[in-house]
Structure 1
Amino acid sequence: MKYSIIIFSLICCFTIESNAQKTYKRIYYNNGSLQAEGWLNGDTKTKYWTFYYPNGKVQKEGHFKNNKPIKYWYFYRENGTKESEGHFINGQKNNWWLIYDNIGKINHKCQLKNNLKNGYCFMYFNKELVSAKRFKEGKQINEWTDFKSFRKDNNLKDLK
């Protein structure tokens, strides 16, 4: 019984100590408007953060782990329209990314690996698919402007 009380006390102390390091931080521009807000573990960004333009609109938002972006992020233009969104793995853009035109319509969506186009990239105009490209380590290796030739040349299972 004594040992379980001691172990319970130690666990509580470690829990309180580790939680005490996490703080919610707000950073401000010189003009007093909010520049960024999110969680810190000591001096390290962690969990969800939001960054703002000086006009108060959201610039970008997403998760951090050890000061590196992870998981799904959203990026916006200064006028508030969405610019892009996609996955980060250990600080690098990976998997599918959506890129929007100036009025917020999808312009293209691409597969990335370690910040480079790597896989398919689909181009749109007025919400219509106009071409598909394939990239390897950032270099374009093929392009299609009709679905029939694209389907003939590709395994559609690669689109996951």
Structure 2
Amino acid sequence: MSNKALNRKVYIICGSLLAMLLVLLGVIAINKLNYRKTLLSEGIRTNASVLNKYHVTSNTGKIKRSYLELAVFEDTTTVAKQKVKEINKEPKSINDKIDILFENFGTSKTPTTEYKSLTYLVSLEQYGSIKIGESKTFVYLKGEVENGVLLDALE
């Protein structure tokens, strides 16, 4: 086999590997965009409280990554279900009127589960604009709280 034929085979093999790598990266990018669109359209929005924020630094003191620790309620969309009574007659006494007034009081968005603590990677500019104790909107798909995103980062 000559040197020219060997070079041609190497170029073909390297080119095909590069093409497969580019296709793989394209598929990953498209899946990520579709996931973000799904989060915007179908995502569950909840308030997340910032518990802590910190940097991971290198040995030289350069900031590598910035993290937020968030307290997120997993299921705030669950509304406490109460029996709805159909009233056929007008209330007769003041006690009936008060009972009807407070029938569904305080059940609209009551969290039914404990909060979950998440560590979330943020950019340096987001890190500087967020304060500890602040409340932010967190978006996630049902059952995938770990893959959620801050609403500010989606828009």
Q: TM-score range by the shorter chain?
A: under 0.3
Q: Find the structure with the greater CA-based Rg.
A: 2
Higher helix content, 1 or 2: 2
Higher strand content, 1 or 2: 1
TM-score with structure 2 setting the length: 0.23
TM-score with structure 1 setting the length: 0.23
Higher RCO (C-alpha 8 Å, min separation 6): 2
